Amino acid sequence: MHLTERQIFAICWAALLGNDFLFHAVSGQPALVFIDYAIKLALLGLLLRTPVIREPLSLRPPTVAAFAAVLAVAAAYLLLDRLTGYVPAYWRVFKWPVLDGPLFVLDQSFGLLLTAISEELIFRVLAFRIIGGSVARQVLLSALAFSLIHWGSGPGDLIGSFGFGLLAGAHYAYFRDVRLLIATHFLVDLYLFW
């Protein structure tokens, strides 16, 4: 069966939206972590079947301007995260459990890298491809879709992830290179979750 890019995006988005429901229902750290990884690995496998995802993963080196811009994205997001930390969590369906030992190391390396790769390919590369229209429309709608997958963590995370989505979307719209965004997403998450 051949899936269109829109269908692949819908499957990926629905799976990530539903992740917080699943997290709320499942107890036990190892089960939670491995279910999350299985979902993201399955989505990554689905994504890598599409030619549009393989195109931006070129081997050409990023420009100095792209490096400078991605540092600005990271700094602006970390500032925004500080500001949204003051937003009361009126609802919080899910909070990632505190992990320790080898599970912590696995999650802080493989888990965060898997998250960064899958989310950037879905919400930058694929979303931009299927949204079409103006760049502003692509940036706004991809940021909105990205922020909504963080609904279970409360309003502060919704606002913060929307801000990151806007910044990352603007970077992707200008440079059309997702590699630095994957690295930035990973490093920002590592900083936030360490």
- The single residue listed with the structure tokens 């995802």 is 53
pLDDT of residue 32: 78
Listed by start position, the domains of the chain span 5-193
Are 178 and 52 in contact by the 8 Å Cβ rule? The answer is no
Are 166 and 143 in contact by the 8 Å Cβ rule? The answer is yes
The terminus-to-terminus CA distance of the chain in angstroms comes to 41
103-105-108 Cα angle (round to 5): 105
Task: Evaluate if pTM is beyond 0.85.
Answer: yes
Report the alpha-carbon distance of residue 132 to residue 109 in Å, rounded. 34
Q: What is the DSSP letter of 56?
A: T
Share of the chain above pLDDT 70, in %: 86
pLDDT of residue 192: 84
Q: How confident is the model at residue 62 (pLDDT cuts 50, 70, 90)?
A: confident
pLDDT in tens, 113-171: 999 999 999 999 999 999 989 999 999 999 999 999 988 888 888 888 999 999 999 99
For the record, the structure tokens of 63 come out as 């420009």
Backbone angles phi, psi at 108, to 5 degrees: -75, -10
Tell me how far the alpha carbon of residue 22 is from its chain's centroid. Answer: 18
For residue 172, with 0-12 CB atoms within 10 Å meaning exposed, 13-18 middle and 19 or more buried, which class applies?
Answer: buried
Query: CA separation (Å) from 84 to 10, 37, 164?
Result: 28, 27, 12
84 or 90: which leads in pLDDT: 84
